[in-house]
Each structure stands twice: as structure tokens, then as C-alpha cells.
Amino acid sequence: MPKMRVLSGREVLKILGEFGFQDFAQRGSHIKVRRVLPDGRTQSLTVPDHAEIDRGTLHAIYRQASRFIPEAQLRSKFFTD
């Protein structure tokens, strides 16, 4: 079974940026990212800007992101082979 990678907040933001998410707000160390779909709907996620994100938190971000991004595209970014 593949293991979850160890990622920083900036690395997660970069991954989400590849799928069209952009920073739109920050409160403390938590950055909110959003993308607007062509039909006007918005999709938002919150990412902690930590040097290393805990695995449980990273898994929660992955689950939330997989609601918006196909898991086949997202899996290779968050898990090792």
C-alpha cells in the first residue's frame, strides 16, 4: 500500500495551484485557496502553512481536494508508489 508523502504547506499549495487554486485569504498560518469554475461556482480549501504537515491533516486535505479533483490525478502527488 502506498504511503503518504511528507509535504510542507507550500508544497501542498503548489500542488493545488497546478489544478487552478489560488490564494485568496490568510489568517495566521492557515491559507485559504479557491478556484472559480466557468459556471461561477467556487471551490475552497484551507491549508496550514507549516514546514511539515501532520499525516492526519494531510490526509484530510487530500480527501477534501478529491471532492474537486479526480483522485487519479491527485493520488500521485500525495502518495508514494
Collapsing DSSP to helix, strand or coil, 39 comes out as coil
- Assess contact for 58 and 7: CB atoms under 8 A: yes
Integer Cα distance of 22 and 7 in angstroms: 18
Q: What is the distance in angstroms between the CA of the first residue and the CA of the last residue of the chain?
A: 8
Task: Indicate which CATH number applies to the domain containing 20.
Answer: 3.30.920.30
Q: pTM for the complete prediction?
A: 0.91
pLDDT tens column, 2-61: 899 999 999 999 999 999 999 999 999 999 999 999 999 999 999 999 999 999 999 999
78 is a domain residue:
no
50 is a domain residue:
yes
pLDDT in the model for residue 47: 97
47 is a domain residue:
yes
